[in-house]
A and B are shown apart, each in its own frame.
Chain A
Amino acid sequence: GAVVSQHPSWVICKSGTSVKIECRSLDFQATTMFWYRQFPKQSLMLMATSNEGSKATYEQGVEKDKFLINHASLTLSTLTVTSAHPEDSSFYICSARGKTTGSRNIQYFGAGTRLSVL
């Protein structure tokens, strides 16, 4: 199946710093990428949807200036948590949906990034 690579898998940072998370589709072109946030023992909450070459669409309640999303190419999307604070600590997961017929409707997920802000 298709592979989505997400890095880093774990990051610890000081309060006030910014953290960038990368999401790459390795063997297919991703027309749409999704960024989710998951709190312990809870479901995945969609933060934003991004399409290649256009601005991300953020869900209600998600601060676009706080969580910067860039979908620069058909294989790469990045999420930058700016001026991180302890309440931003969470598990962030990206997923990608493909361009070709075979992968168009299926979501493939990265392994997730566990962010801890001290």
Chain B
Amino acid sequence: GIQVEQSPPDLILQEGANSTLRCNFSDSVNNLQWFHQNPWGQLINLFYIPSGTKQNGRLSATTVATERYSLLYISSSQTTDSGVYFCAGGDIPTFGRGTSLIVHP
């Protein structure tokens, strides 16, 4: 099956900093999505982005399907951005191991 690698595994930021999270796939995927899991476990869909670039407020994502990777950008981070960010892809979605983000005030 598809292998999904996410980096970095852990990230600690000061409020206001910017960051880039990366997701690499071992094969071409469709249905590529980014999720945020809050400290209570709820998974929220951030982007459905099989290709191209999308932006939503301080977050944006870019997927280069031909090179099998996707990037999630977080700008001007806030403490509420803390949690785990997952990417997933495939007809039967496979998840990466996630990036654990902590934003300090």
Please state if B42 and A111 are interface contacts (CB–CB under 8 Å): yes
B: number of interface residues (CB 8 Å): 22
> How long is the Cα–Cα vector from A41 to B98 in the complex, in angstroms?
9
Count residues on chain A whose CB falls below 8 Å from chain B CBs: 21
Since A38-B41, A46-B92, A109-B35 are in contact, a sample of 16 more A-B pairs with Cβ atoms closer than 8 Å, ordered by chain A residue number, is A1-B45, A34-B92, A41-B100, A43-B95, A43-B96, A43-B97, A44-B86, A44-B88, A95-B43, A95-B93, A105-B48, A107-B33, A107-B45, A111-B40, A112-B41, A112-B42
What are 16 A-B residue pairs whose CB atoms fall within 8 Å in the complex?
A: A34-B92, A36-B95, A42-B97, A43-B96, A44-B86, A44-B95, A46-B94, A105-B30, A105-B48, A106-B33, A107-B31, A107-B88, A109-B42, A112-B41, A112-B43, A114-B41
